[in-house]
Amino acid sequence: MDHVISGVAKFQREVFPNKRAVFKKLANEQNPEVLFITCADSRIDPCLVTQTEPGELFICRNAGNVIPPHTEHTGGMTASIEFAVAALGVSHIVLCGHTDCGAMKGAIDPDSLDSMPHVKQWLGYCWGAVDKVRQKCGELNHEHMEEVTRENVLLQLEHLRSHPSVAAGLKEGNIKLHGWVYNIGTGAVECYDEQKQAFVPMKQAYAKQNSQTPAKK
């Protein structure tokens, strides 16, 4: 904990003064373009991976980058998504999974979560992805992690589309969804290509999409 406390002191002493104008502008408003949804895993730093500055990403994190399908029940993810879209007017939503995800390990082997009932119940939102891979591959183990991770990103995107604010934004053409998988060990990012129905390297995925990017509201 000491290095966390000393880090705050370093930020106040060395970093904040050099960005004083940025923080002055952000003190009373935010206008992020991107809602970035990813895992709570300590190895994932969205701003580091995307090289973005404060105010550019509205970030939501939880175990397994899960988005529960929309219901009348109010939860943290539901409220955050609604706020990002309806109040902040984000024009892009990134759903980012990652390699070596503990949540995906738990989803593959739910019996290992018996001592963590809340985690087990939460990862029920991922079991559709596990079942899809199981139908193709049979009995699963940790060798199937990458495939389950990709399928989970696609499943959570489907859940995301069920949220009214997102559905309206998609219908109006004001929002674009992005499915990513970040490789912790290599730094690579794979992105889902709708036309190819596959995850491809980021450079390849966005080579033809840049001209189609919706403008920020």
The neighbouring-strand residues paired with 98 are 182
CATH of domain 31-210: 3.40.1050.10
Query: What pTM, to 2 d.p., does this model score?
Result: 0.92
Following DSSP, what letter does each residue of 63-91 receive, concatenated? TTS--PPP-SS--HHHHHHHIIIIIS--S
For 15, what's the count of Cα atoms within 13 Å in the CB-facing half-sphere? 10
pLDDT at 162 over 50: yes
To the question of whether residue 98 is assigned a binding role by annotation, the answer is yes
Name the DSSP letter for residue 162.
Answer: T
pLDDT at 210 over 90: no
Lowest mean pLDDT, pick from 32-41, 61-70, 131-140 = 131-140
To the question of whether residue 101 is assigned a binding role by annotation, the answer is yes
Nearest in space to 54 (alpha carbons), one of 84, 16, 90: 16
pLDDT at 214 over 80: no
Percent of the chain with pLDDT over 70: 95
CA dist 151 and 79 (Å) reads 24
Section 146-168 average pLDDT: 98
For 13-124, strand residue ranges (E) read 34-39, 57-62, 92-98
Q: What is the pLDDT of residues 9-65, one digit of tens each?
A: 999 999 999 999 999 999 999 999 999 999 999 999 999 999 999 999 999 999 999
Lowest mean pLDDT, pick from 19-28, 54-63, 188-197, 201-210 = 201-210
pLDDT at 211 over 70: no
In the chain, what are the domain boundaries? 1-29, 31-210
To the question of whether residue 41 is assigned a binding role by annotation, the answer is yes
Quick one: the chain helix, strand, coil %, rounded to 5? 50, 15, 30
Percent of the chain with pLDDT over 90: 90
